[in-house]
Amino acid sequence: MTWTQVTNPLDNLWLSALVAALPIFFLGWALAVKKMKGYIAALLTILLATLIAIIVYGMPTGIALTTDILGALKGLAPIGYVVLTGVFLYNLTVESGQFEIIKYSISKVSDDQRIQALLIAFCFSAFIEGAAGFGTPVAIAAAMMIGLGFPPLYAAGLALVANSIPVAFGSIGIPITTAGNVTGLSPDLIGAMAGRQLPILTLIIPLWVVMIMGGWKAAKGVMPALVVAGVSFAGAQFISSNYLGYQSTDLIASMTSIVALMILLVFWKPKDKWSFEGSTVTLANDKQYSGGQILRAWSPYIITSLIILLWSRQWFKDYFTPAKGASPIWEINFNMPVLHNAVKIADKAQAAPYVLNWVTASGTAILIATILSALVLGMSAQKYLATFAKTLKQLALPLISIACFLAYAELSTRSGMGTTMGQALSKTGAAFAFFAPIIGYIGVFLTGSDTSTNALFGKLQTVAAKEVGIDPILAVSSNSTGGCAAKMISPQSIAVGAGATNMAGQEGNILRFTLKHSLIFVFLMGIISWLQAYVFTWMIPTP
């Protein structure tokens, strides 16, 4: 059985686009208004989308269902695989007791809360984002700052604002990987483009964070630290995303910024010690740790960084790629029954392969890092496996959400729903380059995930970009970078921040704290996107 894709099933483009967007509207209503659990909202969204594909677009039931299955498989691996192993790595540091030493090592550097905010909310949070993502950075940073004497609202709010920009490269670059999977564009080019947008904002984030804390007067007192933190992070962010592999961008940029700040603090200290009025600046604990103990505590993340650097090398990937002459045992590769070559787009049958190189997958890199880390930390096999089981239980329901969002992305692409919305949005003409980040912003607000918004809107951005005549690489990257600005206001992120700071029931206060910063960030990203589309076109990477 074959089926030819239609993009205007109701013979009215705007009406067809409205119907195609119903699953997105439903998801927003389910999450923001009805406050459904994420996995329930995701399940109902893919159910609604499947019904629209079958009833409105005329997609045969068997083809629609197998499309859902293929998308769900892509959601679980490689994407869910990375999330699972990344959070597992963090849990290992907690269960082994090493995270207390990590917290101690940061707090000992300075008792000035401006410096602590830079180290924890900006630098270390970005490192956790690069390794795990998935709300973990905000939870960790906010909890650490509470322990260091920050007021709860500022602990949650600063963690959310400072962690926004690293989101595009979070979880070993999985949002960028997802964008590549959904659109068929090179994830390396998408990552490089993101690395030519985000550093512009990264330069001002340290200043922004301290200005929130105490205005210009507080910022002026630590200006050398603000400049060093912003420039070192932005520079490493650009270099890593463009030349070293986007997967390790957050890890490299955050570590570069931490080291740069540490070196600065050897030779320079703020003249005045600053803290919030009425707060008590405390260290993580009173116990003293040696340099060797601190290095050992950080070893899981050092090991992970080194392994990810190896995994991102093309020669390493080629060694395990059957298409490059490697053994086929390294790869799971099959065509989805019923769906393969069953959908025709522009009279061309669409293949439906599922390909997973289980060796070169980023999840495998982190898994190996967890094994090596357990050996370095002296963790028993029993405790290692128990921690993995705990992590699997912790992420069981979120993994369902990821599978559903990727199922929707696959269905949106093959049914024509994404093309319909893209064609409608392309009618905005030259203004689309400004709106591209805003689309990603809306997606992250709805789903709480830059990965999910790339899955939801990646194809839409590609179609619309081609319609208006701008480079799809720019549009898809802007979808991801614009989404970063919404991370601080998404209901899921705010819930994490509230939970970490014992502010359950005060989520509205956190939202009011972050909203204006979020809107300013996405507006600036819209301006950057438009300028790169029509003025600074040389900034767009080419193959």
pLDDT at residue 230 greater than cutoff 90: yes
Residue 398 lies in a domain: yes
Residue 35 lies in a domain: yes
Q: Tokens 């208004």 — which residue?
A: 33
DSSP 333: E
| Phi and psi at residue 343, to the nearest 5° | -105, 130
Average pLDDT of the residues in 271-300: 76
Measured distance CA(165)–CA(154) in Å, rounded: 18
Average pLDDT of the residues in 490-508: 74
pLDDT at residue 29 greater than cutoff 70: yes
Average pLDDT of the residues in 20-26: 88
pLDDT at residue 215 greater than cutoff 50: yes
pLDDT of residue 404: 86
**What six digits make up the tokens of 109?**
């550097």
pLDDT of residue 532: 95
pLDDT at residue 371 greater than cutoff 70: yes
Q: What is the number of structural domains in the chain?
A: 1
Angle between helices 249-267 and 291-311 (to 10 degrees): 150
pLDDT at residue 374 greater than cutoff 90: yes
Q: Tokens 């076109």 — which residue?
A: 537
Measured distance CA(162)–CA(274) in Å, rounded: 19
pLDDT at residue 504 greater than cutoff 70: no
Residue 282 lies in a domain: no
Burial letters for 432-465: b for 16+ Cβ neighbours within 10 Å, e otherwise? bbbbbbbbbbbbbbbbbbbbbbbbbbbbbbbbbb
pLDDT at residue 82 greater than cutoff 50: yes
Nearest to 265 by CA among 232, 224, 295, 204: 224
The tens digit of pLDDT for each residue in 160-170 reads 999 888 899 98
pLDDT of residue 182: 86
Single pTM value for the model: 0.75
Average pLDDT of the residues in 502-510: 74
What residue numbers bound the domain in which 461 lies?
3-273+287-539
pLDDT at residue 496 greater than cutoff 80: no
Measured distance CA(459)–CA(456) in Å, rounded: 8
pLDDT at residue 392 greater than cutoff 70: yes
Residue 485 lies in a domain: yes
**What six digits make up the tokens of 333?**
């590769």
Residue 279 lies in a domain: no
Measured distance CA(442)–CA(392) in Å, rounded: 29
> Among the listed ranges 108-112, 162-166, 174-178, 296-300, which one has the minimum average pLDDT value?
108-112
Positive or negative: CA dihedral 106, 111, 112, 113: positive
> Among the listed ranges 167-176, 318-327, 437-446, which one has the minimum average pLDDT value?
437-446
> Among the listed ranges 126-140, 146-160, 210-224, 243-257, which one has the minimum average pLDDT value?
126-140
pLDDT at residue 536 greater than cutoff 50: yes
pLDDT at residue 445 greater than cutoff 50: yes
Measured distance CA(470)–CA(465) in Å, rounded: 5
The 3-state secondary structure of 239-286 reads: HHHHHHCHHHHHHHHHHHHHHHHHHHHHHCCCCCCCCCCCCCCCCCCC
pLDDT of residue 466: 87
The tens digit of pLDDT for each residue in 154-196 reads 998 999 999 888 899 987 788 998 899 888 899 999 999 999 9
pLDDT at residue 284 greater than cutoff 50: no
Taking each continuous run of H as one helix and of E as one strand, the counts in the chain are 26, 5
Share of the chain above pLDDT 90, in %: 43
Measured distance CA(50)–CA(25) in Å, rounded: 15
Measured distance CA(149)–CA(108) in Å, rounded: 14
| Beta-bridge partner residues of 349 | 344
pLDDT at residue 283 greater than cutoff 60: no
**What six digits make up the tokens of 259?**
């080291």
pLDDT at residue 280 greater than cutoff 60: no
Residue 266 lies in a domain: yes
- Which helix (H) or strand (E) segment holds residue 383: the answer is helix 381-415
Residue 498 lies in a domain: yes
Burial letters for 388-406: b for 16+ Cβ neighbours within 10 Å, e otherwise? beebeeebeebbbbbbbbb
Average pLDDT of the residues in 48-54: 96
pLDDT at residue 237 greater than cutoff 90: yes
pLDDT of residue 39: 81
Measured distance CA(116)–CA(122) in Å, rounded: 9
The residue length of the chain stands at 543
Residue 281 lies in a domain: no
Q: Torsion-angle region of residue 173: left (phi > 0), alpha (psi -120 to 50) or beta?
A: left
